């Protein structure tokens, strides 16, 4: 498979993203994401190093703690078998909050998707997802997506480890560490501000400063990267 071979030879995440983008566009899938999940008891944090899903949706998903409410996200922690969303989830039988999550996902071009859980490194679990407005994924396409997903996951995992190994020594302030630690526990900026006796704007600034130091693009990415760099602990 030419796309898989091209991804295997890439040297950075941007190149992987371009190749994946071209592939999904040809198959009318539109969206893709490679994510890693670390779970400690009931708490879980998610790191999304590669995705063309709207940053607005990813931030909303994190801010509203949708990971803990999303039955398919939880299903990914329990199964090793790839699955199509609408086949694994009877949406009409779900509570209003779950229907809301998938209504919002559809608004961002993800009415249905194909997700594959994967084993990964350092105690993390991984998942590769392809999504779009389409209603079905045929057998041939599922097979192609599974092959591509495995290659994408392996290459992204390796590139992330290479990036981390060359990072300069990052220092976070005590307040930045506190904000990220509470963020890892699912707290919003408002809740963290109340806990620490600060303003919401100050908490947002701590997250922004930490993201700039770590070279991350959203709150979830910042929290998990800080965790993986042993800059915060839960």
CATH of the domain at 199: 1.10.10.10
pLDDT for 192 = 93
Q: Is residue 234 part of a domain?
A: no
Residue that the structure tokens 């965790």 belong to: 227
The pLDDT, as a whole number, for residue 104 is 95
User: Domain check: are 118 and 180 in the same one?
Assistant: no
> Region 39-68: what's the mean pLDDT?
76
In whole angstroms, give the CA distance from residue 33 to residue 150. 12
42 & 141 share domain = yes
Instruction: Indicate the pLDDT class of residue 167, thresholds 50, 70 and 90.
Output: very low
- At residue 225, does pLDDT exceed 50? yes
* Max avg pLDDT among 47-51, 114-118, 224-228: 114-118
pLDDT band at 67 (very low <50, low <70, confident <90, very high): confident
Indicate whether 190 and 136 sit together in one domain: no
Whether residue 93 is found in the same domain as residue 184: no
Domain boundary (118, 140, 165) is at 165
Q: Are 201 and 90 found together in one domain?
A: no
Gyration radius of the chain's alpha carbons: 18
Which pair of structure tokens corresponds to residue 77? Answer: 């922690």
**Residue finishing a domain among 165, 182, 214:** 165
Sign, CA dihedral 36-54-65-203, equals: positive
Domain contains 233: no
Residue 94 lies in a domain: yes
**Domain count for the chain:** 2
Q: What is the pLDDT of residue 178?
A: 92
CA distance 87 to 136: 9
In a domain, 217, yes or no: yes
- Give the other-Cβ count within 10 Å of 144's Cβ: 17
Q: Is the predicted pLDDT of residue 79 greater than 50, yes or no?
A: yes
Per-residue pLDDT reduced to its tens digit, 174-195: 899 999 989 888 889 999 999 9
The mean pLDDT value for 158-169 works out to 59
The answer, yes or no, to whether residue 41 has pLDDT greater than 60, is: no
Of 193, 218, 215, give the one whose Cα is nearest residue 56: 218
Domain that holds residue 215: 174-228
> Starting at the edge strand that comes first in sequence, how are the strands of the sheet with 43-51 ordered?
43-51, 31-40, 125-132, 112-119, 83-84
Same domain, 59 and 22: yes
State the pLDDT at residue 93: 87
Q: What is the pLDDT of residue 69?
A: 87
Provide the CATH number for the domain around residue 104.
3.30.450.80
Choose the weakest-confidence range: 51-60, 92-101, 215-224. Answer: 215-224
Q: What is the pLDDT of residue 45?
A: 60
Contacts 24+ apart (CB under 8 A), 35-41: 35/126, 35/127, 35/128, 35/129, 36/120, 36/124, 36/125, 36/126, 36/157, 36/224, 37/76, 37/77, 37/124, 37/125, 37/126, 37/127, 38/123, 38/124, 38/125, 38/224, 38/227, 39/77, 39/125, 40/234
Q: Facing residues of 31 across strands? A: 131
Considering the domain architecture, whether residues 155 and 188 belong to the same structural domain is answered as no
Are residue 195 and residue 116 in the same domain, yes or no?
no
- Averaged confidence pLDDT in the chain: 83
Is residue 87 located within the same domain as residue 185? no
- Asked if 208 and 137 sit in the same domain, the reply is no
Q: Choose one of 137, 165, 193: the last residue of a domain.
A: 165
Residues 113 and 192 in one domain: no
Whether residue 135 is found in the same domain as residue 219 = no
Q: What is the pLDDT of residues 83-135, one digit of tens each?
A: 999 999 888 889 999 999 999 999 999 999 999 988 765 556 788 999 998 76
Output the pLDDT for position 168.
45
Query: pTM value?
Result: 0.68
| Residue, of 65 and 71, whose pLDDT is higher | 71
């Amino acid at each position: 498979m030419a796309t898989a071979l091209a991804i295997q030879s890439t040297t950075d995440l941007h190149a992987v993203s371009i190749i994946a983008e071209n592939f999904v566009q040809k198959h009318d899938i539109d969206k893709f994401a490679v994510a890693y999940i670390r779970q400690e008891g009931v708490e879980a944090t998610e790191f999304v190093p590669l995705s063309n899903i709207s940053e607005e949706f990813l931030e909303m998903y994190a801010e509203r703690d949708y990971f803990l409410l999303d039955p398919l996200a939880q299903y990914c922690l329990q199964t090793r078998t790839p699955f199509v969303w609408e086949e694994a989830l009877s949406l009409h039988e779900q509570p209003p909050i779950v229907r809301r999550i998938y209504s919002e996902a559809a608004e961002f071009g993800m009415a249905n998707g194909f997700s594959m859980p994967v084993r990964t490194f350092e105690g993390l679990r991984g998942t590769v997802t392809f999504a779009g407005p389409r209603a079905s994924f045929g057998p041939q396409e599922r097979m192609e997506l599974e092959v591509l997903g495995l290659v994408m996951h392996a290459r992204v995992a390796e590139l992330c480890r290479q990036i981390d190994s060359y990072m300069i020594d990052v220092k976070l302030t005590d307040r930045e560490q506190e904000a990220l630690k509470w963020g890892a526990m699912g707290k919003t900026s408002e809740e963290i501000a109340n806990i620490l006796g600060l303003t919401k704007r100050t908490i947002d600034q701590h997250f922004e400063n930490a993201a700039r130091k770590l070279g991350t693009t959203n709150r979830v990415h910042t929290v998990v990267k800080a965790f993986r760099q042993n800059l915060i602990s839960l």
